[in-house]
Amino acid sequence: MEGLGAWGQSRARGWRRCVVLGLILTLLAFVAAGCTEERKEERAQVQLKVLDYNKQSFYSTYGDYIAAAFPNVNVEVVPTEGMFDVKLPFKERLQQLTTLITTEQPDLIFLSDNDMYHALADEGLLSELSAFLAADPELEQHIHPGVLEHMRNERSGELYGLAADFSVLLLYYNEDLFQQLGVEPPRDDMTWDELLKLAQRVTQASSDADGVIGLLPDFAGPSGLVSLMAMTEGLGLFPYRASTGIMLADTPSWRQMFTTALDAYRMDTFRTKGLAPGQEQPTALAGGNSNWFRAGCAGMVIAGYGSYDDVTFKLGAVTPPVDAATRQRSFGMGSSLTMSIRAGSPLAKESWNMIAFMMSDYVAKVRAKLGVQYTGTSFFPSNITYADYSNDRFVASVYRQLPSYEPDDKGAALSNEAYNAMNDLFRSEVDEALAGSQTFEEMIERLQTEGKKILEWGIRSKGDMSSYIMIDDLD
């Protein structure tokens, strides 16, 4: 999962610099008091290059921390702003970045594009960090295991970067509504099957006149629900593998996804049977008072942290639905910014010290004192110490999550045209099965046969495509 899009445009920005820097300096007074003779060798002035989106991006994100902790380091920012056209093929953008790195020789490399992170590692331009991390076992124990897993994904266990922050989804619920209806509220680590049964109880406990629904879905129709459940279970967005050209609709796992979603709609969990012709199903994508959860007409909704802080009712939150196998993994966990070291950098040790500091207990404690709201983002420190010092009432549900598994589908993806065709096929076939226009088995057969045709003409090598579909988060 890429998480934030191309080159920092959706990067976490706008930290309250004066407040942050003041707290950092106060904290570092204690850190400095505990410094040993080993740190003296690091006090010589060092000129270190950092590749980042631009200078403002660097200082508004991590630069203030680094300047306070490492006063002997002079940072030169190598900007990537304006040099990438996202409409260009990925291979061309990778070549541009490779040329910049080779020419400018940055020591630290900050990336907000997960695909670039993997590509640069494949090109041999990033240092493997496992030895550095192994030398600091306390730090390794304090990094959220889901973050390490995310950074090692598709890398055969090797580690070429660390992310100081991560984001998750939460299952928000209306505590007042649950109490009014006399229904037990949701709890952490519920599966999709359990959540949908709870949503049905909420819907049935309210009158038709009230029009309350148990769960406000992200997307209209059963096909969107199928995809969300499948991603939670580690099956992927759609039932195919581009790398092998195989359709997977006719497998036990996908059959179960289809059955569960269709049953939920047939039992009118979302009150879709009473919709007038042309009336759209309420979804979480609606803004303002059009959002049924915000208006008090839905019991639960899945969304990013802070999405509903302004509601007028008592708000509760637990983990989003988890996979049935481990009851730990949920869809929507991602990292913000990857910090890597250029392979061959003569300042690898100094660069690692900066990364380690940004991942440290010290910074986590500062962030806990500030609170997530001061960053203007929904990202949490990857260091789990934050949870021990934060007074956020939902923090426990944040740090107990692990990322859902991602299918091993390297090297190929669908073109935009093929993706759209697959999406249309997926939606229409599931909708027809719900409407009774075809049987469940007919739906499976058509998904298999028609989907295979799309795969035959729509698969492209990732490196040769101007753009390919990546689903990052659905909140």
pLDDT at 33: 45
Token pair of 366 as six digits: 């500062």
Q: Which is more confident, 149 or 64? A: 149
Mean predicted confidence (pLDDT) in 319-342? 93
The overall average pLDDT reported for the chain is: 86
Pairing of strands 108-111, 246-247: unpaired
Q: Mind listing the pLDDT tens digit for each residue in 256-308?
A: 999 999 999 999 999 998 888 888 899 998 766 678 999 999 999 999 998 99
Looking at residue 64, its pLDDT comes to 81
Higher per-residue pLDDT: 42 or 111: 111
Give the mean model confidence (pLDDT) for residues 306-324.
Answer: 95
Which pLDDT value is given to residue 468? Answer: 40
pLDDT at 4 over 50: no
Q: Residue 156's pLDDT is what?
A: 77
Residue 150: phi and psi, rounded to 5, are: -65, -40
Determine the 3-state secondary structure of 44 from DSSP: coil
pLDDT of residue 377: 58
Note the pLDDT tens digit of each residue in 206-220.
876 668 999 999 999
Mean pLDDT of 412-434: 93
Task: Please report the pLDDT score of residue 105 as a whole number.
Answer: 98
Nearest to 8 by CA among 49, 58, 50, 48: 58
Q: Say how many C-beta atoms besides its own lie within 10 A of residue 333's C-beta.
A: 24
Q: Is a pLDDT exceeding 80 seen at residue 18?
A: no
Number of Cβ within a 10 Å radius of residue 456: 10
Whether the predicted pLDDT of 341 surpasses 70: yes
Residue 8 has a pLDDT of 36
pLDDT band at residue 359 using 50, 70 and 90 as cut-offs: very high
Contact predicate 193/307, CB 8 Å: no
Lowest mean pLDDT among 40-54, 246-260, 309-323: 40-54
Going by pLDDT thresholds of 50, 70 and 90, the confidence category of residue 162 is very high
pLDDT of residue 446: 98
Q: What is the pLDDT of residues 29-53, one digit of tens each?
A: 444 444 444 444 446 899 999 999 9
Query: pLDDT tens digits, residue range 76-93?
Result: 999 998 776 777 888 888
Token pair for 357: 């500091």
Strand order across the 380-381 sheet:
334-335, 165-167, 380-381
Which pTM value belongs to this model? 0.87
Give the residue from 336, 375, 369 showing the smallest Cα distance to 60: 375
Strand ranges (E), 175-278: 213-216, 240-241, 246-247
Spell out a b/e string for 207-231, using b for 16 or more CB atoms within 10 Å of the CB, else e. Answer: eeeeebbbbbbbbbbbbbbbbbbbb
pLDDT score of 239 more than 60: yes
Strands of 108-111's sheet, edge to edge?
73-79, 46-52, 108-111, 338-341, 162-163
Per-residue pLDDT for 7 more than 80? no
**What number of other Cβ atoms are within 10 A of residue 277's Cβ?**
4
Using the structure block, give the residue that is written with the tokens 């010092």: 389
- Quote the tokens at residue 40: 């003296």
Three-state secondary structure call for residue 169: strand
Residue 67: its pLDDT value, please? 85
Contact 336, 57 (CB under 8 A): no
Tell me, what's the pLDDT at 180? 95
**Best CA proximity match to 5, nearest among 470, 474, 423:** 470
Query: Is the separation of the CB atoms in 186 and 173 below 8 Å?
Result: yes
Mean pLDDT (whole number) for 352-373? 87
The arithmetic mean of pLDDT across residues 155-183, rounded, is: 93
State mean pLDDT over 296-323.
95
Q: What pLDDT shows up at residue 337?
A: 86
Mean pLDDT throughout 246-250? 97
- Average pLDDT value for residue range 409-431: 90
Higher pLDDT, 105 or 27: 105
What the block records as the tokens of 68 is 């306070």
Torsion on CA atoms 385, 325, 118, 422, rounded to nearest 10:
-130
Give the list of residues 6+ apart from residue 153 with CB closer than 8 angstroms, or none: 406
Let me know how long the chain is: 475
What pLDDT was estimated at residue 336? 76
- Whether 328 has a pLDDT exceeding 90, the answer reads yes
Nearest to 218, CA basis, from 300, 309, 295: 300
DSSP of 307-357, one letter per residue? TTTT-SSPEEEE---B-TTTS-EETT-EES-EEEEBTT-TTHHHHHHHHHH
Strand partners, 317: 172
Q: Which residues, 6+ apart, have CB-to-CB distance to 59 below 8 Å?
A: 17, 67
Q: Is 103 left (phi over 0), alpha (psi -120 to 50) or beta?
A: alpha
